[in-house]
């Protein structure tokens, strides 16, 4: 049919008129609004049920930060985690990990019942068993080892050393007859050794950053998750508002460096030398607090030693920092009313070089800020856990007297309390049977977090019996023989002593917000049950009916107030005499041959990547930019000016092979001017192989590529990087 011009025009006009009329009516706007609301009501969109709303206060245990939480519940379900208003650590603030903690609570990665391995180690094949069976089996294995006189071959790795649960585990080992209780080392351990050596006391450092007026940070990721993350974020905002100067010394331009008033890119590993260069200027020009330092033990020797060895012009080659910069930095630091120097690289989750810590602490001593407002507070270790010493039977006496497998406390490492980083090598280099015959792991994931994970896994394979108390199917749980799953965070009652650099530390009480959802058991109860099953003096060392009874008794008169407020103040700071030192400040160098490996690989921390025992929540992973993780591929940051030979050209997004003396991995390149030329910056916290599909298979675990570097002073792991090379991917 032929459409006449007239018909065509008429239809056209009708349509145009219709469109005009429709636009003049509410229909399109209302329909758009309704359709968008309709999409919120799709049946698969999760929404909380309607019901009684309540709030429960608790304390977060997802990182050492110790933030107070206020959790909103609808009926029996927790629906939102918020920061607790008025809490001394975070006063209503919360980080993205804490905020998304419900995904760990309700996510698919939980271990729901006790499990027993049925496949090969690490295959992840388990069968469900009952609690009675699981505890009986563990007790039987431990009992047998003890009967053979091998009680000292049992070791325990705990996420932290503080709090009643780690202390119950330690007590179990002691009463059983083993000295091998180890905790996962962090910068707190390096600081503890520092304070022991420079004040002669067992103490923890507190940093009164809220009252400091000049902040000199030696690579501390102030807004990367260092210390207690929410508190540091708040402090950083307050500094910006008050125009307080922050100077960041760090080879790469981290977020902290980007926000700092000044960024000084020193050569990685040379931070301690730089600190002593600053000390040199302060001493030379008389800019130190004389009333604090003159007459202090070792001060004159220190002064001479620093004068002889650390003149700014002499350290320029090692640090890459010009003399003038060091001079002006020292003057600014000394001129401030309450300056503070911080160290602990990135989040401070790995200890670092002892001499670097001591050098930086010396700056604080020279500035006279020890135990002063805005300075470093010296706080004794918490004393609220005052159980009577367990009575030891003969086996236990003999067992606990044998040397520790990790060498901590020995002549070589007199100040270290535990040296977990030395454990894998101790097992691998031992002749004959493994010196560890049974291992208990609580709130730790050594198979992921320790440097040189391949070696760690090899060492673990030599341990005949591994028990994990993990709430999640993490890499270490996957390599265990028996899993005795703990209640998750927000399901369990626990004391949370929080130091994390707080100037006024607190003891928090993490209260259960919801009932345990699965057939899990509090690790405290599991330990008591194991002790009871082992019988005799071991059982007698655990007189409590349950963990709750133990905690209640331990906390004594604090119990009630803790239940009400969820926190009480911990110890106050104590007097600390100064002791200077004169050891040579050895820089810890990166492993590997410079010719073969022209680059230096450095892991970096980010608040968007949880890199410890707790892995990323799906929500957290969503916030990771695609210059770090694109789909499942990890990007490493490289400066475009880096020389990498003729055969390889660096292009954004290009796939390359990253090889270090410890291993190699396929990664993509992200070109960034914020990285020092010659450095490859690798995010820490990716590359999980266990947990669930939301976490596993994304990127590469940087710990697989680096090896531990034992610090000559403390024995702790001081690794900050490793030499590396990039090459074409063979197709």
* Residues forming the site for ligand SF4 (CB under 6 A): 60, 62-63, 65-67, 90, 94-95, 97-98, 229-230
Cα separation, 499 vs 204, whole angstroms: 7
Report the Cα 278 to chain-centroid distance in Å: 29
Q: At its nearest, how many Å lie between another protein and the CB of residue 48?
A: 7
Q: At its nearest, how many Å lie between another protein and the CB of residue 75?
A: 12
Is 518 a binder of another protein (CB under 8 A)? no
Footprint of another protein on residues 66-95 (CB under 8 A)?
A: 72, 79-80
User: According to CB under 8 A, which one of 1, 2, 3, 6 is a site residue for another protein?
Assistant: 6
Alpha helices in 430-507 (DSSP H): 446-449, 453-461, 475-478
Cα angle 140, 163, 484 (rounded to 5 degrees) comes to 30
**Residue written as tokens 């410079």?**
594
Among 258, 219, 267, smallest CA distance to 240 is for: 258
Is 3 a binder of another protein (CB under 8 A)? no
Query: Looking at 50-58, 134-142, 680-688, 709-717, which segment touches another protein (CB under 8 A)?
Result: 50-58
Nearer to ligand SF4, 256 or 353 (CB): 256
Is 9 a binder of another protein (CB under 8 A)? yes
Nearer to another protein, 54 or 410 (CB): 54
Select from ligand SF4, another protein, none the partner in contact with residue 66, using the beta carbon and a kind-dependent cut-off of 5 to 8 Å. ligand SF4
Give the three-class secondary structure for 289: coil
Q: At its nearest, how many Å lie between ligand SF4 and the CB of residue 334?
A: 33
Q: At its nearest, how many Å lie between another protein and the CB of residue 238?
A: 16
User: According to CB under 8 A, which one of 35, 118, 386, 731 is a site residue for another protein?
Assistant: 35
Q: At its nearest, how many Å lie between another protein and the CB of residue 28?
A: 8
- Show the tokens assigned to 238: 């307050």
Is 27 a binder of another protein (CB under 8 A)? yes
Select from ligand SF4, another protein, none the partner in contact with residue 388, using the beta carbon and a kind-dependent cut-off of 5 to 8 Å. none
Is 30 a binder of another protein (CB under 8 A)? yes
Is 13 a binder of another protein (CB under 8 A)? yes
Query: Looking at 41-49, 158-166, 634-642, 689-697, which segment touches another protein (CB under 8 A)?
Result: 41-49
Nearer to ligand SF4, 65 or 268 (CB): 65
Among 396, 395, 462, smallest CA distance to 430 is for: 462
Nearer to ligand SF4, 79 or 201 (CB): 79
Nearer to another protein, 4 or 647 (CB): 4
Select from another protein, ligand SF4, none the partner in contact with residue 518, using the beta carbon and a kind-dependent cut-off of 5 to 8 Å. none
Q: At its nearest, how many Å lie between ligand SF4 and the CB of residue 167?
A: 20
Cα angle 52, 56, 62 (rounded to 5 degrees) comes to 130
Contact in structure between 315 and 274 (CB atoms under 8 Å): yes
Query: Looking at 44-52, 324-332, 369-377, 391-399, which segment touches another protein (CB under 8 A)?
Result: 44-52
Q: At its nearest, how many Å lie between ligand SF4 and the CB of residue 221?
A: 13
Virtual CA dihedral for 494, 499, 503, 508, nearest 10 degrees?
0
- CB proximity list for 186: less than 8 A, separation 6 or greater: 64, 348, 349, 350, 351
Return the half-sphere exposure (C-beta side, CA atoms, 13 A cut-off) of residue 676.
Answer: 20
Among 372, 229, 348, smallest CA distance to 292 is for: 372
User: According to CB under 8 A, which one of 2, 5, 242, 243 is a site residue for another protein?
Assistant: 5
Q: At its nearest, how many Å lie between another protein and the CB of residue 628?
A: 22
**Residue written as tokens 């993780």?**
629
Q: At its nearest, how many Å lie between another protein and the CB of residue 18?
A: 4
User: According to CB under 8 A, which one of 1, 2, 3, 37 is a site residue for another protein?
Assistant: 37
- CB proximity list for 47: less than 8 A, separation 6 or greater: none
Measured CA distances, 699 to 146, 349, 494 (Å): 42, 20, 34
Select from ligand SF4, another protein, none the partner in contact with residue 18, using the beta carbon and a kind-dependent cut-off of 5 to 8 Å. another protein
Footprint of another protein on residues 266-325 (CB under 8 A)?
A: none
- CB proximity list for 731: less than 8 A, separation 6 or greater: none
Taking CB atoms, the residue at the shortest distance from ligand SF4 is 98
DSSP 389-411: PPPP-HHHHHHHHSPPTT-TTSS
Return the half-sphere exposure (C-beta side, CA atoms, 13 A cut-off) of residue 476.
Answer: 32
Nearer to ligand SF4, 67 or 358 (CB): 67
Cα separation, 683 vs 182, whole angstroms: 27
Is 240 a binder of another protein (CB under 8 A)? no
Facing residues of 249 across strands? 218, 264
| Length of the chain counted residue by residue | 731
- CB proximity list for 292: less than 8 A, separation 6 or greater: 365, 366, 368, 370, 578
Contact in structure between 58 and 71 (CB atoms under 8 Å): yes
Report the Cα 716 to chain-centroid distance in Å: 15
Query: Looking at 20-28, 60-68, 443-451, 723-731, which segment touches another protein (CB under 8 A)?
Result: 20-28
**Residue written as tokens 């069968």?**
127
Is 52 a binder of another protein (CB under 8 A)? yes
* Binding stretches for another protein (CB under 8 A): 5-6, 9-22, 24-27, 29-31, 33-35, 37-38, 40-41, 47-48, 52-54, 72, 79-80
């Amino acid at each position: 049919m032929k459409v006449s011009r007239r018909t065509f025009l008429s239809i056209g006009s009708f349509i145009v008129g219709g469109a005009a009329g429709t636009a003049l009516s509410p229909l399109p706007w209302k329909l758009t609004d309704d359709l968008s609301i309709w999409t919120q009501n799709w049946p698969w969109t999760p929404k909380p049920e309607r019901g009684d709303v309540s709030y429960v206060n608790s304390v977060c245990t997802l990182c050492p930060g110790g933030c107070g939480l206020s959790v909103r519940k609808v009926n029996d379900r927790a629906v939102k985690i918020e920061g607790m208003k008025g809490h001394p650590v975070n006063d209503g603030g919360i980080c993205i990990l804490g905020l998304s903690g419900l995904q760990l609570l309700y996510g698919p990665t939980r271990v729901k019942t006790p499990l027993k391995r049925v496949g090969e180690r690490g295959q992840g094949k388990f069968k469900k068993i009952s609690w009675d069976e699981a505890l009986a089996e563990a007790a039987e294995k431990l009992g047998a080892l003890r009967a053979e006189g091998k009680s000292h071959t049992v070791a325990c790795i705990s996420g932290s050393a503080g709090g009643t649960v780690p202390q119950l585990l330690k007590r179990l080992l002691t009463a059983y007859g083993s000295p091998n209780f180890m905790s996962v080392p962090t910068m707190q351990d390096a600081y503890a050794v520092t304070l022991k050596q420079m004040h002669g006391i067992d103490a923890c450092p507190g940093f009164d950053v809220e009252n400091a007026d000049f902040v000199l940070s030696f690579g501390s990721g102030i807004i990367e998750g260092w210390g207690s993350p929410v508190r540091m974020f708040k402090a950083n905002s307050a500094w910006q508002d008050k125009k307080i100067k922050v100077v960041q010394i760090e080879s790469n331009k981290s977020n902290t460096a980007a926000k700092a008033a000044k960024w000084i890119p020193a050569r990685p590993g040379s931070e301690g030398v730089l600190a002593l260069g600053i000390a040199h200027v302060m001493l030379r020009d008389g800019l130190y607090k004389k009333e604090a330092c003159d007459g202090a033990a070792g001060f004159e020797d220190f002064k001479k030693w620093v004068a002889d060895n650390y003149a700014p012009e002499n350290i320029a080659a090692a640090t890459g920092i010009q003399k003038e910069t060091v001079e002006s930095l020292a003057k600014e630091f000394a001129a401030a009313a309450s300056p503070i120097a911080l160290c602990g690289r990135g989040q401070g989750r790995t200890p670092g070089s002892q001499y670097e810590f001591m050098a930086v602490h010396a700056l604080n001593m020279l500035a006279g800020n020890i135990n002063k407002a805005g300075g470093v507070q010296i706080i004794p270790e918490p004393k609220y856990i005052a159980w009577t010493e367990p009575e030891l039977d003969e086996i236990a006496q003999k067992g606990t007297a044998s040397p520790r497998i990790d060498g901590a406390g020995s002549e070589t490492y007199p100040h270290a309390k535990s040296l977990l980083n030395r454990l894998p090598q101790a097992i691998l280099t031992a002749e004959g049977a493994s010196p560890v015959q049974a291992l208990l792991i609580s709130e730790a994931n050594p198979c992921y977090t320790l440097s040189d994970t391949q070696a760690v896994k090899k060492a673990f394979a030599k341990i005949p019996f591994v028990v994990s108390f993990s709430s999640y199917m993490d890499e270490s749980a996957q390599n265990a023989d028996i899993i005795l799953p703990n209640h998750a965070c927000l399901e369990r009652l626990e004391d949370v002593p929080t130091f994390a650099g707080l100037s006024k530390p607190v003891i928090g009480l993490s209260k259960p917000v919801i009932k345990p959802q699965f057939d899990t058991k509090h690790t405290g109860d599991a330990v008591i049950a194991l002790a009871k099953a082992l019988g005799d003096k071991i059982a007698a060392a655990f007189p409590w009916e349950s963990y709750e009874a133990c905690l209640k008794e331990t906390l004594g008169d604090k119990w009630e107030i803790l239940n009400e407020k969820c926190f009480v103040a911990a110890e106050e700071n104590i007097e600390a005499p100064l002791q200077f030192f004169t050891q040579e400040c050895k820089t810890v160098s990166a492993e590997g041959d410079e010719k073969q490996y022209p680059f230096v690989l450095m892991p970096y921390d980010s608040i968007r990547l949880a890199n410890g025992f707790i892995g990323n929540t799906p929500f957290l992973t969503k916030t990771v930019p695609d210059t770090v993780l694109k789909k499942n591929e990890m990007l490493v940051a490289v400066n475009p000016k880096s020389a990498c030979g003729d055969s390889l050209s660096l292009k954004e997004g290009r796939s390359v092979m990253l090889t270090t003396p410890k291993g190699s991995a396929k990664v993509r390149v992200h070109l960034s001017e914020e990285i020092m030329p010659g450095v490859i910056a690798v995010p820490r916290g990716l590359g999980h192989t266990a947990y669930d599909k939301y976490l596993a298979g994304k990127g590469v675990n940087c710990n697989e590529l680096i090896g531990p570097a034992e610090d000559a002073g403390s024995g702790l792991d001081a690794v900050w990087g490793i030499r590396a090379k990039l090459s074409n991917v063979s197709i």
